[in-house]
Amino acid sequence: MTRRIAWLVAATTSAVVVAFVVPLCFLVANIASDRATTRAREQAQSVARLVATLADPATLERTVADVSAQGPRVVVVEPDGALVGESSLAPGTTLASVERARQQKAAFTVARDGGLDALAPVATAGGLDVVVASVTGDELRAGVSEAWLTIGALGVALVALSVAAAWNLGRRVSVPVVEVAEVAHRLREGDASARAVPGGPPETAELGRALNALADRIHDLVDAEREVVADLGHRLRTPVTALRLDTDLVSDPEVAERLREHVAHLQRSIDDVVREARRSVTTELDARTSPHPVVAARVAFWEPLAEDQDRRLELVGTSSAPPVRMADADLAELVDTLLDNVFAHTPEGSDVRVSVTREGADRVVVTVEDAGPGMPLPWRGRGHSEGGSTGLGLAIVHRLAEQAGGAVDLGRSALGGLRVTVALPTAERA
């Protein structure tokens, strides 16, 4: 915005300056020419009065020479063509102009190559003399170049001052807007404490106050939602516990086992909802995590359950993967969510493989594969699941990965089941 305002003012001011400078330059040139022409005319008239009063040729010669030395060059042309004051006429001066002055018996100026002549006829005892005062082209343009440079410098200074003023005005308008935008980005990235400092023009200050009010309102709504969901989860735990106890009273073992599975699945879903509601927005914007130790720790945590269910849980990949832009707790939650989905939605005995590999110079890939039935249809977002679950697990994985600038890909595993690939940017790239 600042640059655009400056360019607009520069263009407008330049147009105005040019509109005034060009005519002013022509005016200066005309004034200089008129000044030189007036001097030549006055010189010719002055010498004509001397010619009319001085009868001594020698005195006239000296007087004309002295006058020529002090101003424009002056030559007196006598009726017989003799010259007084100079040995020759100025270059470009024609005898036709002299004869015209004698015939018209009137003073006038005439342009010639390289300058201008002012002619004044004067009657003497010997006839009609003609006084010719000549100025050169340099005298006609005397001081014009300096005046043009001064005018041009003033015009440039005026444009520069206008641009400086416009730049200052643009910064007064744009800097508060940029600061408000930075606060908005911080809010988007999870900094719930970010608030704008209202400043600048009244409209920008009002925008900052509105953004602060919006942030406060969002914070209140999120807190209220978390409390409501958490309370709902706690309220549901009691009837779920009662259902689990009631399943022990069912005499049919097959029906009892099926009911226990449903109750366990319901309990896990409720826990996921509560954990998701309680989870605070990530505020560590510059988090760095070495992925392999975190993934290895989570795999070790799940190994006892894998042994109980006769699963082979293995970790493959290199331990030299670079740090990723994600907090330790977020990466641990991501791996736990994926492994929990595998243990919850695949038959016992299905193998699981977790890998951490480096892909290119700027990505680390965490992959969880299983030998279960897989997903018959593509996952379509939060709440979608082909296995009868809430679909919240994959939604959590997507959100954690996208918050870190990564992406999630679902595909077919080499083990025969689902393969979930999470690509995370390295901390150096971020």
**pLDDT, tens digit (0-9, with 9 covering 90-100), for 27-45:** 999 999 999 999 989 888 8
Q: Is the pLDDT of residue 282 over 50?
A: no
**Could you report the per-residue pLDDT of 63-83, keeping only the tens digit for each?**
888 888 887 888 888 888 888
d(CA 342, CA 393): 10
Give the residue-averaged pLDDT of 72-95: 82
Q: What is the pLDDT of residue 157?
A: 92
CB atoms within 10 A of CB 372: 22
383 pLDDT band, cuts 50/70/90, is: very low
What does 110-166 look like in DSSP terms, one character per residue?
EEETTEEEEEEEEEETTEEEEEEEEEEHHHHTTTHHHHHHHHHHHHHHHHHHHHHHH
Q: Which amino acid is at 152?
A: G
CB atoms within 10 A of CB 366: 28
Buried b (16+ CB within 10 A) or exposed e, 91-110: eebeeebbebbeeeeebebe
382 pLDDT band, cuts 50/70/90, is: very low
Q: Is the pLDDT of residue 388 over 50?
A: no
Closest by CA to 77, choosing from 100, 109, 53, is 100
Q: What is the pLDDT of residue 121?
A: 92
Lowest mean pLDDT among 103-107, 316-320, 362-366, 387-391: 387-391
Give the residue-averaged pLDDT of 283-302: 79
Alpha helices of 77-131 — where are they, by DSSP H? Answer: 95-104
What percent of the chain clears pLDDT 90, i.e. is strictly above it? 16
Write the CA distances from 351 to 127, 331, 419, 426, integer angstroms.
Answer: 135, 22, 12, 29
d(CA 231, CA 228): 5
Radius of gyration of the chain (CA): 49
Which H helix or E strand runs over 229? helix 202-247
Mean pLDDT of the residues in the chain: 83
d(CA 137, CA 37): 11
d(CA 279, CA 275): 6
Lowest mean pLDDT among 114-118, 286-290, 302-306, 364-368: 286-290
Residue 124 pairs in a beta bridge with 127
Residue 123 pairs in a beta bridge with 128
d(CA 236, CA 347): 27
For the sheet containing 127-136, what is the strand order?
A: 83-84, 73-77, 127-136, 115-124, 108-112
Give the residue-averaged pLDDT of 97-102: 87
Q: Is the pLDDT of residue 268 over 80?
A: no
d(CA 319, CA 107): 107
Lowest mean pLDDT among 181-195, 209-223, 348-362: 181-195
404 pLDDT band, cuts 50/70/90, is: confident
Closest by CA to 33, choosing from 147, 140, 142, is 140
Q: What is the pLDDT of residue 287?
A: 65
Q: Is the pLDDT of residue 390 over 50?
A: no
Q: What is the pLDDT of residue 405?
A: 85
Domains of the chain as residue ranges with CATH: 2-144 (3.30.450.160), 195-281 (1.10.287), 291-425 (3.30.565.10)
Give the residue-averaged pLDDT of 387-406: 74
Q: What is the pLDDT of residue 389?
A: 46
Q: Is the pLDDT of residue 360 over 60?
A: yes
Residue 237 pairs in a beta bridge with none
d(CA 324, CA 292): 10
Q: What is the pLDDT of residue 355?
A: 92
273 pLDDT band, cuts 50/70/90, is: low
Q: Is the pLDDT of residue 285 over 80?
A: no
Please report how many Cα atoms fall inside a 13 Å half-sphere around the Cα of residue 320, on the Cβ side.
1
d(CA 352, CA 370): 4
Q: Is the pLDDT of residue 170 over 50?
A: yes
Q: Is the pLDDT of residue 231 over 80?
A: no
Closest by CA to 200, choosing from 171, 224, 173, 180, is 173
What does 341-358 look like in DSSP terms, one character per residue?
HHHHHS-TT--EEEEEEE
